[in-house]
Amino acid sequence: MKKHCCEDMAYHANFECEIHENPFECPDKIIIFDKRNDDYGLIIHDGGTSCISIDFCPWCGSEL
């Protein structure tokens, strides 16, 4: 498992909802982490599966 830059990022990147199987349907899932490409994104909760790629941590400011 990848070591994330801070505890907040680790929590949000690894968050798994007990109610929603699809992370794009869960309002509590805000960060999506693509393990294959080592990419992070902010989920856009508009009913689709869009996200905005991010290069810096929203909590600690570290480069991702």
Q: If pLDDT is split at 50, 70 and 90, which confidence band does 60 have? A: very high
Alpha carbons 32 and 20: distance in angstroms, whole number: 14
Alpha carbons 42 and 31: distance in angstroms, whole number: 5
Distance of CA 54 to the CA centre of its chain: 10
> What digits encode the pLDDT tens for the residues 24-59?
999 999 999 998 998 999 999 999 999 999 999 999
Evaluate if residue 5 carries a pLDDT over 90: yes
pLDDT for residue 3:
85
Please tell me the pTM assigned to this model. 0.85
Token couple for 7: 């505890």
- β-pair partners for 53: 41
Evaluate if residue 2 carries a pLDDT over 70: no
Evaluate if residue 1 carries a pLDDT over 60: no
